[in-house]
């Protein structure tokens, strides 16, 4: 359980790093005329993602570690992090935990975005399943997945509408 707690703590630290990058990018976006969309769902997203980490620790305290499942899910969770950071680096200043569009910035179509519109959400979905299952926290994985699906339905709708406002050529 100690190793799993360290893993969850590492993910929590990674989330703080994401928030620092996001705040920096938010400041850049606002300085370049950025417009924020979907303010109302953001607090729900913060609570849900925090709940994922708390739920992982709580449930794992009552579950056995199953090596085959656990180690394979570590690999999947790490792959999700790699995809997440590929998205973040590809979007550069345009990446944010909020939905902010800079007029005439152009829609990014490189990196993982050449394969799909919302690859970061693939990383979120995969991580939301894999991270709890590292220590057999299947209830957390299930609850997070269902609630996250509802949130992503709203979030992707907001993001697609925001992206439609971009008028510059893709880069």
pLDDT in tens, 20-36: 999 999 999 999 999 99
Contact 94, 25 (CB under 8 A): yes
Chain segment 157-169, per-residue pLDDT in tens: 999 999 887 654 4
Entry pTM: 0.91
Q: How confident is the model over 77-87, as a mean pLDDT?
A: 98
Q: Encode 154-169: b = buried (16+ Cβ within 10 Å), e = exposed.
A: ebeebbeebeeebeee
Q: How far apart are CA 95 and CA 18, in angstroms?
A: 10
Q: How confident is the model over 133-148, as a mean pLDDT?
A: 98
pLDDT at 169 (0 to 100): 46
Q: How far apart are CA 1 and CA 57, in angstroms?
A: 9
- For 104, other C-beta atoms within 10 Å of its C-beta total 12
pLDDT at 164 (0 to 100): 85
pLDDT at 165 (0 to 100): 78
Q: How far apart are CA 116 and CA 93, in angstroms?
A: 20
């Amino acid at each position: 359980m100690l190793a799993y707690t360290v893993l969850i703590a590492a993910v929590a630290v990674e989330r703080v790093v994401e928030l620092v990058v996001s705040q920096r990018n938010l400041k850049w976006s606002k300085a370049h005329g950025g417009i924020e969309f979907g303010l109302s769902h953001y607090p729900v997203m913060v609570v849900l993602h925090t709940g994922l980490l708390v739920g992982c620790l709580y449930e794992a305290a009552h579950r056995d570690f199953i090596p085959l499942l656990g180690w394979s899910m570590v690999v999947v969770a790490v792959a999700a992090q790699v995809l997440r950071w590929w998205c973040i680096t590809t979007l550069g200043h345009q990446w944010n935990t909020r939905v902010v569009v800079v007029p005439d910035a152009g829609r990014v179509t490189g990196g993982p975005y050449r394969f799909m519109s919302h690859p970061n959400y693939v990383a979120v979905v995969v991580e939301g399943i894999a991270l709890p299952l590292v220590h057999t926290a299947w209830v957390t994985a299930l609850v997070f997945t269902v609630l996250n699906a509802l949130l992503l339905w709203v979030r992707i709708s907001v993001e697609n509408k925001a992206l439609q406002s971009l008028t510059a050529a893709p880069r």
